[in-house]
Structure formats: C-alpha cells, structure tokens
Amino acid sequence: MSSPNVFLEFLKSRRSIRKFKPQEVPLETVNRILDAARYAPSAGNRQPWTFIVVLNKEVRGVLAKIHAWAFPLEGAPVNIVVACNKDASPHSFQVDCANAAMYIMLAAHALGLGTVWIQSLRNISEVQRIVKLPENHVPVAIIALGYPDESPGPRPRKDLSEITCIDEFCK
C-alpha cells in the first residue's frame, strides 16, 4: 500500500483526457479496471450497475454524436456505458453509479490510461437505444477510455475557504 501523500497526489494528478492514441486497450486491462470498479460503495451494497464495454467503432461514432461534448468517445478505443438499474436502487442509483464511474476513472489512471466522463443524463433514451438497454437501466455516465495523447494541466479549482463551512452553512 502506498503512502497517504502518494495517494493524495495520485488523486490530484488525474485529468480529463479527450485525445487518445489509436492503440487498442487489451481486454485484460479493461477487465482489471472493471474489477476494481466493483469495489465502489453503493447504498445497501446493491451494486445496481452494469458496465457496457463498447469497442465497436461504428457504435462509438454514434455515441460520440449524442451531443457536442461527447466527441471524445469516437477517438477513445473503449467506451464504457455505466448503466444503472433504477428499480434496484430507486433513491440512490445515480450516486451509486457515479461512484462506480469514478472508480473506473481512478483505476484507469493508476494503470496509466486516460479517461473523460461523458454526460449521458440528458440523452437517456437515445443511449438506451444505441446500446440496447432496458427502460429501467439508466446510462448514468459514459467513460471514454484509452492511452492519452495529450497531457493537459490542472483545471482551476475553487479555493478550499470558498467551499468549506464549519458546523453550519456559511455562505
């Protein structure tokens, strides 16, 4: 187990990657990432997620057109649709699956791969149709995954003092 400082620096060094090398990601590597994602916390440990690994170039091309900022899905050799069964966890499905999506991104980062979270909650029925999800399975996120072909600097973050209160809301 690495030291706490190393882990905090690891968290801070993740970046959204939108430009990927064409190099394929071995399925074994994808499986290692998804294996780690299984350990994400979920309400009542219901694990309401299904991971749809999209490798097909044509399907990725269609997903990449669901909105203007979905374009990284086309260049990324792997897309992972994080689908959530809303009946299995009616109050928490979105946060449960957001946790799994974040685990995917961090596991990928640990293995030297890049990711970006693509918004899918404004295009639910469209994504359901593209990857044949049943109506009660909501695509909470689509993760573009691949070897990075860019190394962007950190995006600005709010100062801690701006977002922290002690004991009660202080804005």
Ligand X SMILES: Cc1cc2nc3c(=O)[nH]c(=O)nc-3n(C[C@H](O)[C@H](O)[C@H](O)COP(=O)(O)O)c2cc1C
Q: Which residues bind ligand X (CB under 6 A)?
A: 15-16, 18, 69-70, 72, 116-119, 155
CB of 146 vs ligand X, minimal distance in Å: 14
- Give min distance, CB of 28 to ligand X, in A: 26
Sign of CA dihedral 52, 123, 97, 12: positive
Q: What is the SS3 assignment for the chain? A: CCCHHHHHHHHHHCCECCCECCCCCCHHHHHHHHHHHCCCCCHHHCCCEEEEEECCHHHHHHHCCCCHHHCHHHHCCEEEEEEEECCCCCCCHHHHHHHHHHHHHHHHHHCCCEEEEECCCCCHHHHHHHHCCCCCEEEEEEEEEECECCCCCCCCCCCHHHHCCCCCCCC
Kindly state the smallest distance separating residue 2's Cβ from ligand X, in Å.
21
Half-sphere exposure of 160 (CA within 13 A, CB side): 1
Residue 88 vs 144, nearer CB to ligand X: 144
- Closer to ligand X by CB, 52 or 101: give it: 101
Q: Nearest approach, Cβ of 11 to ligand X (angstroms)? A: 10
Nearer to ligand X by Cβ, of 27 and 127: the residue is 127
Question: Least Å distance between CB 68 and ligand X?
Answer: 9
If the CB atoms of residues 70 and 130 are measured against ligand X, the closer one turns out to be: 70
Nearer to ligand X, 42 or 123 (CB): 123
